[in-house]
C-alpha cells in the first residue's frame, strides 16, 4: 500500500534526523480511529456530487442545489450572529456586461438569462475601448521603435 510506504519513508527520515543529532527525540501524533475526516469535507463532497448532476446557470440554481442537501438538524444555530463588514460592489464594466450578454447568455437556462446576462443599459464599447492596450493614433506611432 502506498500509504504504508509513505509512513515507512517518514519514519526512516525521522530516525535519520535523530541519528545525526538534529533532534534528541521525535514525537508523532495520529488522530483517533474514526476521527480522521473533517466534517465540512464530507458535506462539501455531497454538495459537489449534487452540483455535478445539476444544471446551474444562476445563483438561485446554486441555492436550490444547496437546499436539497439536508445536513443540518432543524435546531441548528450559528456560533455567532456577528455579520462580516459590508462590501460595496462597483459593478461590471461595459465591456464585461456586453461580453456576458453576447457570448454567455446563450448557455444560460431560459428562465435565468435576464438575471445572469441581462441586456446592458450602457452603450456597447467601441473597438478602441474594448482592447486592453491603447491603439496607435498615427502611422508613426504604429511603427515599432528600435
HEC string for 6-22: HHHHHHHHHHHHHHCCC
Q: Is 84 helix (H, G, I), strand (E, B) or coil?
A: coil
| 88-132 confidence digits (pLDDT tens) | 888 888 889 999 999 999 998 888 899 889 999 888 877 665 554
pTM of the model: 0.42
Confidence band for 30, pLDDT divided at 50, 70 and 90: confident
Contacts of 50 (CB under 8 A, 6+ apart): 65, 68, 69
Phi first, then psi: give them for residue 98, nearest 5 degrees.
-70, -35
Contact, 121 vs 94, CB < 8 A? no
Q: What percent of the chain is predicted at pLDDT more than 70?
A: 69
Q: Is 38 helix (H, G, I), strand (E, B) or coil?
A: coil
User: What's the confidence (pLDDT) of residue 72?
Assistant: 58
Amino acid at each position: 500500500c502506498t500509504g504504508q510506504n509513505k509512513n515507512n519513508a517518514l519514519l526512516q527520515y525521522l530516525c535519520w534526523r535523530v541519528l545525526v543529532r538534529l533532534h534528541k527525540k521525535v514525537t508523532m501524533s495520529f488522530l483517533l480511529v474514526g476521527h480522521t475526516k473533517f466534517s465540512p469535507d464530507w458535506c462539501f463532497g455531497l454538495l459537489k456530487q449534487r452540483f455535478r448532476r445539476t444544471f446551474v446557470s444562476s445563483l438561485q440554481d446554486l441555492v436550490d442545489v444547496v437546499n436539497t442537501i439536508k445536513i443540518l438538524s432543524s435546531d441548528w444555530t450559528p456560533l455567532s450572529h456577528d455579520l462580516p463588514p459590508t462590501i460595496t460592489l462597483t459593478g461590471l464594466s461595459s465591456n464585461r456586461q456586453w461580453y456576458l450578454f453576447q457570448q454567455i447568455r446563450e448557455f444560460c437556462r431560459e428562465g435565468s438569462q435576464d438575471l445572469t446576462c441581462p441586456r446592458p443599459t450602457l452603450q456597447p464599447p467601441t473597438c478602441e475601448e474594448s482592447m486592453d492596450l491603447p491603439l496607435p493614433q498615427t502611422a508613426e506611432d504604429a511603427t515599432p521603435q528600435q
